[in-house]
Structure 1
Amino acid sequence: MKFTDFSDTIIALSTPAGRGAIALVRLSGKDAILHTQTFFRGKNLLEQKTHTVHFGTIRNLENEILDEVVVTIFKTPNSFTKENVVEISCHGSPFIVKRIIQNFLDNSPVRYAKAGEFTQRAFLNGRFDLAQAEAVADLIAVDSAASHKVAISQLRGGFSSQIKELRQQLLDFVSLIELELDFGEEDVEFAEREKLTQLVKTIQTVIEQLLSSFELGNAIKNGVPTVIAGKPNAGKSTLLNALLNEEKAIVSEIAGTTRDFIEDEISIEGIAFRFIDTAGLRQTDDKVESIGVERARKKMTEASLILYVIDLAELFNQNTNKKEFFEEIKEVEELNINTLFVLNKADFWDKINNNSEFSWFNDWIKNSNTIFTQANNTTDKEDIEKLKYKILEVIQADNFNAGDTLVTNTRHYESLRNANLALDDVLNALEMGFTGDLLSLDLRTALEHLGSITGEVSNDEILGNIFGKFCIGK
């Protein structure tokens, strides 16, 4: 993408608002250095080399010192936005920051930046593509080691390069097909249909792998809301406390102790999990508890993972019948959400395993996603570590490597899905022997969807929506 020469200069605070030791005010635009020199007393910034740092003062037109500052200059095209950029490091008083910015706004042609405008200019000037620009926002928002790895990989172009390679392969075939159209009367075939069929199938395999990575990618980016559910006194609160390694939830032998949900977040192998302990699922006449039960059911529908706790002691002592048990399990499975059945109070397992009346339960375990725990024994760290690993396995994060290409963005997912559907149309057209002009239309549709990911195909509405979600000054 060609360099774009913006005529105006923008300014904004790039560090978080509020009081701190240092604040950074950023300017970008053709005349950013010139306008800064108007208020800077120190070396002549216009005569300095790019990537140099200079101490001085910022003053208003009355020559009043607003602050002692350190100014760093970056000259085009060697800057984040590929424009002239100035970064003013001043003291972090909100009063000082406001006076410095207002001085530029009142006494020069500089205007206040829109949300995400620095990154948008970087994109429009070809610093990086649209997927990489979105990775900037992801990187700012990371709160776990895994999300950091994914954002860094995307910022460095790992995902983009894969999309561009797929798009280029299709584009080569489109060019050959459209070349055929120029020789329509001579009945020539430059694009071998068999090779095109194989190419489309190969590209679809890659796209489908990327699509299947979205669930994990989204979980890594946004964290995994994990609901701990089950009947009263199954050990849900004890399990939460064991996972968090603190007494977060009240534990009592009295059924119905937890009447609302309790939540906290921990990181497992760099992935953020937000664990939510809920009220025990049962029919109750207690109005307050019944509200908690309804909230628990709602939280289950919103979860990405359910840890459903089953009390083996109750199962054995109450001699739970098969029908009652499977009605309980069916209610959970019908939610169609990743579920790990946590078989708590594992010391009762031998009694159940050796009792022929529970043979049906043994059969269920063999075909279900289960793990045994002894949550009331919170000193058994090995037990909890096994549970954590199993949780990673359920969301398929146990095979995640830093170099893996993952789809983390809903917009990218939709574009890939639409591209895949367009390629389905290409295969149908090939099978039915459609002419090159119709093939070209379907291929161009796929190209547009792939191009929309990296910004090779974009419009102002899409760009406005993406960059409007950024912070001011980024």
Structure 2
Amino acid sequence: MKLNDNIVALATPSGAGAIAVIRVSGPDAIHLVAPVFKSKGNKDLREQSSHTLHLGNIVDGERIIDEVLVSVFHGPKSYTGENTIEISCHGSPYIQQEIIQLLIRKGCRSAEAGEFTLRAFLNGKMDLSQAEAVADLISSENQASHQMAMQQMRGGFSNEIQKLRQELLNFASLIELELDFAEEDVEFANREEFKSLVSKIQQVLKRLIDSFAVGNVLKNGIPVAIVGEPNVGKSTLLNALLNEERAIVSEIAGTTRDSIEDEISIGGIGFRFIDTAGIRETEDVVESIGIKRTFEKIGQAQVVLYLFDASRLRHLQPDSERHPAPKDRDVSGSHTPAPTLEQVKVEIGKIKNQFPQKPLVILANKVDQLSTEQIIDLRSQISDLNTISAKTGEGVEELQQKLLQFVNTGELRNNNTIVTNTRHYNALLSALEEINKVQEGLNNDLSGDLLAIDIREALHYFGEITGEITNDDLLGNIFANFCIGK
């Protein structure tokens, strides 16, 4: 990228709308726009104060393209730190492209992805972690991801890292000073104070590293797998949770052959629900593949919902030939007998044994078809049983509240720094590794020159997070994920 160019891009989503905003930034941004803007009050944009609005027309020679509102920002008091113009025009795609092409002919070039924010970083308007938070903020889809992005964009994470880095840098300077006076055998850096600082840095780094486990799922949505035998109401439950007909519902068992995913926000937290193929013995090749994927999805999920059809359990049916145990017809046309409660318990046990660390919510579905006595009987035989009717919606709200209990939102509620970026997480791990080496060196009374090596490495990883130490490849990877115009 040539960062002294004047760049232009559409800053609002492409397509038709009420208005669109076209952003121009660069050393000559105001001078390039001024000749094609005819103010209603005959004002010259080049003579206008920063942070002012002006009504007029964008013209190409004698042709009026559109009536617009132009915002003027003089650098460094702008988003990019450069002279910036924002043109609010009508949202016609034709008008948008006419204005952009006109400005390109006048000397601008099309902005690359994230180039406005890249210039803001390079001009000192924000550090690298704050710039990355801009992309997170744009893509936030629920309250939790929005709150974490805002906290990071305001500099909460940066300030914490900068403070640690500065304190470590102060001691590093003293250690380096000792090396200049090696022959006098003097000690400028108090080793006991240094040990206390290293211990403090270790604690902060461990807390930030631990927060990544929470931050990553809150940012991307908490995956919840809905599992159970065929035709127990998994797809109906997914539709009830999403409040829309997302999955195909049929009385024929084995309808769902592959997993279906969708996300909703519950209490400001994103949950990604996965409706899986029913678990059972089958000779159907396609269905077998779906069942295999079910277990893969369980492995990827943070929470597992095990659903069974309480209305079909044999022990709840009248023990009479006049009322035979119900059977389900599957996609091949054959019928499967209703399960016993013991069979349900065996399936629950299998999931618990295979995935012992995952929270498991046991759901008895279709309780709208049971009597109060039958529900009480069920609860007495399965501990921690939750009863719902996916069809009527009974118990669905209680299920949503239960899911929220599995989310560690303590740090979020306390507005603590939560790490959500994999690059930051890896840099923190590397910094902690180097700090541990510093501590080991202090405990073994290593010389200052050896301590200085590990301290420099730790400072390097701190600097990588905030962008004080960077390279073109790193910047290219980060800003390539931005949208054009931001």
Whether TM exceeds 0.5 here: the answer is yes
Amino acid at match of 2:9: A
Distance verdict in 2 for CA 1:353–1:393, change over 3 Å: closer
The secondary structure found in structure 1 opposite 2:54 is: strand
Amino acid aligned to 1:41? K
- Give the deviation of 1:402 after TM superposition: 6.2
Check conservation: 1:389, 1:398, Cα contact below 8 A. Answer: no
Which whole-Å CA distance do the structure 1 matches of 2:88 and 2:66 have between them? Answer: 10
Q: In the alignment, which of 128, 131, 134 is matched to residue 130 of structure 1?
A: 128
Q: CA deviation at 1:244?
A: 3.0
Describe how 1:19-58 pairs up with structure 2 within 5 A.
19-42=16-39, 43-58=43-58
Structure 2 equivalent of residue 457 of structure 1 = 469
Q: Which amino acid aligns with 1:17?
A: S
- Secondary structure of the 1:400 match is helix
Q: Distance in 2 between matches of 1:255 and 1:291?
A: 16
Query: In the alignment, is residue 78 of structure 1 matched against residue 77 of structure 2?
Result: yes
Partner of 2:388: 375
Q: Is the contact made by 1:238 and 1:375 (CA closer than 8 Å) also made in structure 2?
A: no
Q: Structure 2: which 5+ runs fail to align?
A: 316-339
Q: Does 1:342 align with 2:362?
A: yes
Quick one: distance in 1 between partners of 2:7 and 2:344? 71
> In the TM superposition, what is the alpha-carbon distance from 1:252 to its structure 2 partner?
5.9
The answer to whether the aligner puts 1:386 opposite 2:398 as a matched pair is: yes
**1:87-102 alignment, distance < 5 Å:** 87-102=86-101
Q: Please report how far the alpha carbon of residue 309 of structure 1 lies from its aligned counterpart in structure 2 after TM superposition.
A: 3.5
Q: 1:308 to 1:183 in 2, by over 3 A?
A: farther
SS at match of 1:214: helix
Q: Deviations over 1:360-415 (max 9, x none)?
A: x7xxx6xxxxx42112266575x433322332232323663162211111111111
1:217–1:406 CA contact under 8 A, matched in 2: yes
Match of 2:409 among 397, 403, 411: 397
Distance 1:98 1:436, change over 3 A: same
Q: Is the 8 A contact 1:149 1:402 kept in 2?
A: no
Flag the 1:113–1:257 CA change in 2: closer, same or farther, 3 A.
closer
Whole-angstrom distance in 2 between the partners of 1:296 and 1:86: 53
Q: Tell me what 1:294 maps to.
A: 292
Query: Are 2:422 and 1:410 equivalent residues in the alignment?
Result: yes
Per mean C-alpha deviation after superposition, the further-off stretch among 28-37 and 393-402 is: 393-402
Asked if the contact 1:223/1:273 (under 8 Å) is kept, the reply is yes
The one-letter amino acid paired with 1:307 is: L
**Structure 1 residue 212 and structure 2 residue 210: aligned?**
yes
1:420-444 deviation digits (Å, cap 9, x = unpaired): 1111111121222211111111111
Superposition map of 1:223-302 within 5 A: 223-246=221-244, 248-249=246-247, 255-302=253-300
Shift of 1:38: 2.0
Shift of 1:446: 1.0
Farther off after superposition, 418-427 or 6-15: 6-15
1:95-244 to 2 correspondences below 5 Å:
95-106=94-105, 108-244=106-242
The CA distance in 1 between the partners of 2:90 and 2:135, in whole Å, is: 26
What is the distance in 1 between the residues matched to 2:150 and 2:411? 19
Choose the corresponding residue for 1:429, options 441, 450, 454.
Answer: 441
Contact 1:9–1:31 under 8 Å retained in 2: yes
* 1:263 partner SS: strand
Cα distance, 1:216 vs. partner? Answer: 1.8
Preserved CA contact (<8 Å) 1:207 1:416: yes
Preserved contact between residue 281 and residue 293 of structure 1 (Cα < 8 Å): yes
Q: Specify whether residues 94 and 248 from structure 1 end up closer, same or farther in structure 2 by C-alpha distance, changes over 3 A only.
A: closer
Please, which moves more after superposition, 309-318 or 120-129?
309-318
Alignment match, 1:305: 303
Deviation at 1:253, TM superposition (A): 6.3
Q: Secondary structure at the match of 1:426?
A: helix
Shift of the alpha carbon at 1:320?
Answer: 4.0
Aligned mates of 1:206, 1:132 — CA distance in 2: 19
Matching of residue 466 in structure 1 with residue 478 in structure 2: yes
Structure 1 length as normaliser, TM-score?
0.87
Render the CA deviation track for 1:194-239: whole Å, top value 9, x for unaligned.
2222211211111111111112211222222221123335553343
Q: Which amino acid aligns with 2:277?
A: A
Range 19-28 or range 62-71, more displaced? 62-71
Q: Does 1:331 align with 2:354?
A: yes
Match of 1:448 among 460, 464, 470: 460
**How far apart are the structure 2 equivalents of 1:388 and 1:200?**
43
Contact preservation (8 Å) 2:20, 2:91: yes
Q: 1:373 to 1:125 in 2, by over 3 A?
A: same
Letter in 2 for 1:431: N
Distance verdict in 2 for CA 1:315–1:429, change over 3 Å: farther
Root-mean-square deviation (Å)? 2.7
Q: In the TM superposition, what is the alpha-carbon distance from 1:271 to its structure 2 partner? A: 1.4
Query: What's the CA shift for 1:192?
Result: 2.0
Give, in whole Å, the separation in 2 of the partners of 1:372 and 1:441: 58
Q: Which residue of 2 aligns with 1:368?
A: none
Conserved 8 A contact 1:231-1:280? yes
Which amino acid is the alignment partner of residue 456 of structure 1? E
Q: Which moved more, 1:199-208 or 1:128-137?
A: 199-208
For the 8 Å contact 1:308–1:342, the answer to whether it is kept is yes
Q: Distance in 1 between matches of 2:269 and 2:138?
A: 16
Aligned mates of 2:230, 2:461 — CA distance in 1: 49
**Following the alignment from structure 2 to structure 1, what is the Cα–Cα distance between the partners of residues 246 and 480?**
38
Give the Cα–Cα distance (whole angstroms) in 1 for the partners of residues 49 and 359 of structure 2.
Answer: 59
- Over 3 Å counting, the alpha-carbon distance change for 1:323 and 1:111 in structure 2 is closer
Q: Could you say if the C-alpha distance between residues 231 and 433 of structure 1 is closer, same or farther in structure 2, counting changes exceeding 3 Å?
A: farther
* More moved, 259-268 vs 342-351: 342-351
Rate the CA distance shift 1:156–1:134 in 2: closer, same or farther, 3 A.
same
> What is the CA-CA distance between 1:125 and the residue it aligns to?
0.6
Q: Is the 8 A contact 1:150 1:402 kept in 2?
A: no
Number of residue pairs aligned between Structure 1 and Structure 2: 451
